[in-house]
């Protein structure tokens, strides 16, 4: 806190005094202190100067023509423009009631006539210093209030941003939870479908397709067996009792028919297997599109 600028500016002191001699004494005592004197000899003029010039201090006589000092003080203290100006009453009435009344109406100090130079200087100086400190304090307070207001605005902005952020996070969390639930549902469905598919495959292998493959192999084997028997009988008749011829024929038959039998069987098994695979692929595909 600094009062440098205040000390550089001239300090205005309004002296309200109807007695020219007293006025002269006061300005003499206080002269040479960088004080600028404003003079009023009655109430209306004093109030007008106070409102216009806003002096740093008012020295106010009590006994005046027209309004007295107490009435002037009341008016100045009721006006927001002048209420902060310190007022020192000056009077020859050295009575306790006047002093008390002076403080009651808002005066800050009291000087009794006849004036003592040192007392006047000290009382005026201390009131002016107090007033300047008060002004500085008020300015600092206003600065603080402005800073506080700015901080409050920033704080509100922050709070607003924070609220938005929280809402956004909540929204995202909700979206993620939804996605997770959806994923879990899909997974359950896939597991269920897999189980169903596995059952279908088992059923197919165990029943229809399996039976079909077995049947085909049996039929082919039996057919080949029949062909073998028939051909064997024919050649047995033809070869009569020639053992070697019969043996050669049997060997030839085995050599010719066995591969055919094997190829047939293998083809049938392969076809059945393809049927099963197709069936599974179809079932799997339909499961997939159902999702």
In this chain, which stretch among 54-62, 75-83, 103-111, 172-180 interacts with Mn ion, using CB under 5 A? 54-62
Tell me, residue by residue from 11 to 40, as one string, x for binding to Mn ion by CB under 5 A and - for no binding. -------x----------------------
Does 63 participate in binding Mn ion (rule CB under 5 A)?
yes
Does 109 participate in binding Mn ion (rule CB under 5 A)?
no
Does 61 participate in binding Mn ion (rule CB under 5 A)?
yes
Give me the sign of the Cα torsion angle 169, 170, 175, 180.
positive
| Secondary-structure percent of the chain, ordered helix, strand, coil, rounded to 5 | 75, 10, 15
Does 275 participate in binding Mn ion (rule CB under 5 A)?
no
Residues 6+ apart with CB under 8 A from 58: 13, 14, 15, 16, 46, 50, 76, 85, 86, 87, 88
Does 71 participate in binding Mn ion (rule CB under 5 A)?
no
Q: Which is nearer to Mn ion, 32 or 65 (CB)?
A: 65
Nearest to 114 by CA among 14, 19, 39: 19
Residues 6+ apart with CB under 8 A from 51: 79, 81, 82
Q: Which is nearer to Mn ion, 35 or 89 (CB)?
A: 89
* In the complex, least distance from residue 62 CB atom to Mn ion, rounded to whole angstroms: 7
What backbone torsions phi and psi does residue 57 show, to the nearest 5 degrees? Answer: -160, 145
* In the complex, least distance from residue 145 CB atom to Mn ion, rounded to whole angstroms: 42
Does 68 participate in binding Mn ion (rule CB under 5 A)?
no
Q: Which is nearer to Mn ion, 29 or 235 (CB)?
A: 29
- Report d(CA 171, CA 177) in Å as an integer: 10
In this chain, which stretch among 10-18, 39-47, 71-79, 203-211 interacts with Mn ion, using CB under 5 A? 10-18
What are the residues binding Mn ion (CB under 5 A)?
18, 61, 63
């Amino acid at each position: 806190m600094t009062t440098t600028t205040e000390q550089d500016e001239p300090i205005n002191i309004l002296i309200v005094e109807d007695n020219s001699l007293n006025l002269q004494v006061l300005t003499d005592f206080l002269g040479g202190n960088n004080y600028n004197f404003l003079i009023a000899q009655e109430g209306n003029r004093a109030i007008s100067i106070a409102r216009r010039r806003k002096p740093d201090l008012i020295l106010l006589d009590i006994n005046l023509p027209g309004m007295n000092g107490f009435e002037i003080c009341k008016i100045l203290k009721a006006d927001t423009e002048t209420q902060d100006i310190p007022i020192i009453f000056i009077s020859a009435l050295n009575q306790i009631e006047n002093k008390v009344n002076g403080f009651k109406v808002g005066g800050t100090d009291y000087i009794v006539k006849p004036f003592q130079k040192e007392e006047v200087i000290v009382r005026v100086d201390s009131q002016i210093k107090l007033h300047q400190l008060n002004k500085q304090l008020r300015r600092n307070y206003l600065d603080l209030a402005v800073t506080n207001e700015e901080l409050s605005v920033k704080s509100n902005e922050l709070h607003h941003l924070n609220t938005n952020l929280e809402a956004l996070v909540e929204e995202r969390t909700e979206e993620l939870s939804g996605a997770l639930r959806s994923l879990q549902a899909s997974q359950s469905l896939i597991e269920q479908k897999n189980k169903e598919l596995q059952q279908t495959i088992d059923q197919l292998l165990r029943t229809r397709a399996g039976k079909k493959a077995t049947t085909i192999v049996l039929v082919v084997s039996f057919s080949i067996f029949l062909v073998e028997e028939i051909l064997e009988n024919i050649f047995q008749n033809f070869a009569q009792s020639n053992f070697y011829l019969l043996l050669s024929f049997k060997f030839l038959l085995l050599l010719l028919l066995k591969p055919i039998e094997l190829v047939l069987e293998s083809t049938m098994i392969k076809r059945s297997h393809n049927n099963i695979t197709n069936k599974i692929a179809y079932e799997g595909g339909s499961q997939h599109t159902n999702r």
